[in-house]
Structure 1
Amino acid sequence: MSTTKKLAGVSTAAALIIALAGCGSAPETTSTGTGDAAGGAIDGFKPCMVSDQGGFDDKSFNQLGLEGLEKAATELGVDLVKVESSSESDFAPNLQTLVDQSCTLIISVGFALASATVESAKANPEIEYVMIDDMADTDYDGKTDAPNIKPILFDAAQAAFLAGYASASYSTAGKVGTFGGAAYPTVTIFMDGFKQGVDYWNAQKDDTVEVIGWDGTDGVFTGAFTANQDAINAAQGIVDQGVDVLLPVGGPIYQSAASVIRDSGRDIALIGVDADVFETDPSVSDLLLTSIRKLIDVGVYDAVTAAGNDEFDATPFIGTLENDGVGLAPFHDFESKVSPDLQGELDAIKAGIIDGSIPVTSYLAG
């Protein structure tokens, strides 16, 4: 798959979805399409997906992954299977469930699934695997963990750099904040880029905007990817320090952050991740300065389509600003609230990141 290939936005077109219940339960089947192989996929092709604990309705990375799978399955005219995880203990059993369902392509969504996915792939070399946000190793070396695994990764630090710069520009408090679900490299890559963008603003504007919640090495984490009391406590602790922009990184934990922002009675802007949260969750659209996008749906669509055409390629895909694999969402309702010069500055910074004149470091880029 070409890393420069650009695809149209993903729709949630109907396909035959075999919705499996949680680990240990009997499968439940729901028919929503024909599954007649009219799209010309190779004989017997059966793509499947297992979610992280955020679930497929997280309005974030799991949902995007499923949307990409649904679009590809519909165009290929094949059935798909999905199984949802509610905890880490579900990962290995859910992967085995998909093996037992005779899946020919298994997609796992999220870094937490890395170890279980590699184990399943090595035990089933005849099955093709796609790992979203996973390399099973934080020391990225460009190699796959097994010849039947294709990693789809995103250098989100590049887009987060733009969000950090925009946040510093927007902030009047001189304090912006971030926190994560867990200290995985796929989470801290957002926080790294965000801080680097704030630091770049400070250097360019001779300013002193402070980042609360991440110092480049250590920070605030909830311990899970769930909108729960831990996420509320983390957001509250940062809001109490006077920030006026908040970046939660970890699927649905942004919902907890939004509730804290509303309860604060202050003008605090929220930044979404993965999807353009303004579009996926209108309930928080009035709070969103922007979102740091990872085109997971596009990556999944590409990988499934290739495998369905017997062109599976285990070469890692890394989404960047250059290939539009990552990007910054529009300011939407905040368009009139940001500096009229900001978009032009961001366009120039993006060009500098792409040509290397503005370095952005991450575990994927050194």
Structure 2
Amino acid sequence: MSLRVRRTSIAAFAAAGTLVLTGCSVTTPEALEEERLGCLVSAPAGFDDHSAGALTLEEAELARGARVFSGTSSQRVSGGSATSAALDRMHRNNCALTTVIGPGGADELADFAAAHPDDLFLGVSSGTDDLPKNVLSMDFDLVPPAFIAGYTAATASETGKVGVVVAHGFPQSERILAAFDAGVDLYNKEKDEDLPKAESYRPSSGGAASANGSPRAIDDTRDAGKDYFERSFDADVDVLVPFGSAAAMGVVTSADEKRTDLTAATQDPESDDEGPSLPKVVWYGTAGGFSKAIVATVEPNVRRGLRTMFPDWPQSKNPDEVAPAPKTGPEEIGGFRVADRHYWGTLDNGGVRIVAEDGFLSRVSDAGRGITDLRERIKSGEIDPEKG
């Protein structure tokens, strides 16, 4: 007897017991429910990436507490073959919903889901529309936020040099780079005349920063992120915007280390020198309180996405997280009520947010107001984030 069938039999036995005991006017617990595991696979930074992995795991745990799932299981993987092995293991554990986070395992997810049409899967930030019918998807439009990030980076820069980098395979990579540059260009058009122009940094060839083609696309590893940070900072770039998983963690970790070293080296009370410009980061992921280097955050609203897709997901009174009412009734898929098979988070629908963090930007005149203004100008159609 399979594990799933055995649990169903136990539930039926408990239900029968309840009927007998009810006839004797004895209060009894509810019948045991069949186990529903929520399983997650993330690569390469895993679930401590302060980004989509961490946000999705947090939501899965929230759902477990609300009994959407009876339990959760998560695994960090290093590549395609490891993703396939993890999917096979989770299939054998009768996972009710298996989620694969990031573009790194998208191909393996598609192949495995096609081979197991009775299972239900969810791809988060996979960056592809070519998925079988039993794969739900959640993605985010990062082009407008990248434009705002470019403008914000230029506002925050003290050296006049800012940079953006994407990990190989990251969704919308080329469009993100172009939008960032357009944001910097708009800053240069609208800045006060007495302020110097800002420049989008493009590293020279060589090193991890130029691996596999574009000088602003790097391998999604911590070492590649660290190498990119060092090369950029040595070129006087003081604000970086990394999009990726492990590579982004390498950038922000290096920025924190550099800030610590520079701060310790310049703590001379008798010196009139203001010290070197400290590195700053516009982050893609969770709120940036985990790093003093983070001056603004582009946050994918994973919570809103899941609440939009699954009506039974734990809801919220926070208006930024309340899911809109579905236009049609939810359909039953794999034991879940699903209102939206494919969620596309945007600035317009609240699926992506960009905010100034406390600290440096709070001291920059009108920084928070500038972000809000740009967001509204993009929404109104006044600004095309890919052209400026």
Question: What RMSD, in angstroms, separates the aligned Cα atoms of the two structures?
Answer: 3.0
d(CA) in 1 for partners of 2:180 and 2:103? 20
Residue type at the aligned position of 2:359: D
Residue type at the aligned position of 2:352: V
Q: Give 1:319's aligned residue.
A: 345
Query: What displacement does 1:43 show?
Result: 5.0
- Which of 254, 270, 276 pairs up with 1:256? 254
Query: What displacement does 1:294 show?
Result: 1.1
Contact in 2 for aligned 1:235/1:260 (Cα 8 Å):
no
- Which of 197, 218, 230 pairs up with 1:208? 197
Q: Give 2:140's aligned residue.
A: 154
Change (3 A) 1:128 1:243: same
Matched, 1:337 2:326: no
Change (3 A) 1:186 1:96: farther
Matches within 5 A, 1:133-172: 133-136=125-128, 145-172=131-158
Residue type at the aligned position of 1:49: L
TM-score normalised according to structure 2 size: 0.71
d(CA) in 1 for partners of 2:103 and 2:72? 22
Query: What displacement does 1:212 show?
Result: 0.9
CA deviation string 1:193-216 (max 9, x = no partner): 33222122123337631111489x
Q: Give 1:54's aligned residue.
A: 45
Contact in 1 for aligned 2:146/2:176 (Cα 8 Å):
yes
Q: Give 2:376's aligned residue.
A: 351
- Point out the more displaced range, 268-277 or 297-306: 297-306
Query: What displacement does 1:186 show?
Result: 5.0
Indicate the structure whose relative CO is greater, using CA pairs within 8 Å and at least 6 residues apart: 1
Q: Give 2:54's aligned residue.
A: 63
Query: What displacement does 1:318 show?
Result: 1.0
Query: What displacement does 1:46 show?
Result: 2.7
Contact in 2 for aligned 1:170/1:338 (Cα 8 Å):
yes
Larger Rg: 2
TM-score normalised according to structure 1 size: 0.75
Change (3 A) 1:183 1:212: farther
The percent identity for this pair of structures is: 23
Change (3 A) 1:326 1:69: same
Contact in 2 for aligned 1:181/1:222 (Cα 8 Å):
yes
Contact in 1 for aligned 2:255/2:279 (Cα 8 Å):
no
Matches within 5 A, 1:286-301: 287-300=293-306
d(CA) in 2 for partners of 1:173 and 1:188? 25
Q: Give 2:237's aligned residue.
A: 243
Q: Give 1:24's aligned residue.
A: none
d(CA) in 2 for partners of 1:175 and 1:219? 16
Contact in 2 for aligned 1:275/1:295 (Cα 8 Å):
no
Change (3 A) 1:308 1:328: farther
Change (3 A) 1:62 1:219: same
Contact in 2 for aligned 1:181/1:223 (Cα 8 Å):
yes
Q: Give 2:214's aligned residue.
A: 218
Q: Give 1:360's aligned residue.
A: 385
d(CA) in 1 for partners of 2:282 and 2:75? 29
Q: Give 2:109's aligned residue.
A: 117
Query: What displacement does 1:111 show?
Result: 0.7
Extract unaligned runs of 5+ from structure 2.
1-28, 205-212, 263-275, 314-332
